[in-house]
Amino acid sequence: MSIRGWRLLSGATSAWTVVAVDFTLAKVRAQANFGDLAPHLPADCAVWGSDETGWPAARGDAREHLAEWRERTAALGTFHTVLGFCAGAALAGSLAGDARLVLFDPVAVSSPTIAEHYAAAVSRMGAEPDASPDADADDLAERYAVVARKALGDQGVPDSIAVALCARVAANLRYLDMCRVAGIDGHQPDLVVLSRDHELPAVLDKSPQVRLDVAQEQLLAEPAAARAAVPRP
C-alpha cells in the first residue's frame, strides 16, 4: 500500500496500526525521529510515519490542507495508537478519534511561532528577518525564497539546490500552519512523554505524563519512551 505522505516504518500490514506524526523522517542534525522509535515498538504492529511528501507544496488555505491530509490518512484504516511529536501533536490529536493518543514534547503553534521559524531560517542565510509576527505562512515562504536564492546564488550554489531548499522551508512553514489551525486545545492525550527540560503547554498540564532523563534530541530514540507509549492491546 502506498499513500502520499506516509511511510511504513516497521511491521507489515496489520489490524494493529500505529501512526506517528512529525514533519520529517529525514536525519536532521542530531534529532531522533519516529524511524528511531519504531524498532522499539511491538514487532507485530504496523507503524506508519508521516514524511515531507505529505505537506503542502503550493499556496492555499491551511484548513483545506488539513482536511486533504486527513482524508488521505484515512486510507491507513483504523488506528490503535496515534503518536505526535513537537508541533505534530496537534495533527496527531486531529486524527486520534477513539485511538490511544500519545504526545512527545508537544508544543502549541501560533502565528508568532511560525514567524520565529521563518526568522531563524532567514538568519541562517545571513539576512535580517523582515516579517511581522502574524504574517501569512505562504507570504513567509515567498519572502524566504527571495532571500535564500540571492544568498546562495552569491555563494555560487547551483539554483537547483536553492530551489530544493526553498521548497523544504516552504513545506515546513505550511506544515506549521496546519498544526496551528488543528490546535492542541481540546485534545485529551492518554499520555504525554517529556524529555528532561521540555516545558509542557499549560493546556495539557492535567494530562497523564512521564518525564525521561534524556535530551529532546534523543527522546524518540529512547526505548523507555516506546514502552510507555505503545503497550500491547
Grid cell for residue 85? 511529536
Average pLDDT of the residues in 157-172? 93
Phi and psi based region of residue 9 (left: phi greater than 0; alpha: psi -120 to 50; beta: remaining) = alpha
Tell whether the model's pLDDT for residue 134 goes beyond 90.
no
Q: Which domains does the chain have, with CATH numbers?
A: 6-108+183-229 (3.40.50.1820), 111-178 (no CATH)
Cα–Cα dist 76/45, whole Å: 13
Q: pLDDT tens digits for 19-69?
A: 999 998 877 667 899 999 999 998 888 999 999 999 998 999 999 999 999
Give the model's pLDDT for residue 165. Answer: 93
E runs forming strands in the chain? 6-10, 17-21, 46-50, 81-85, 100-104, 191-194, 209-211
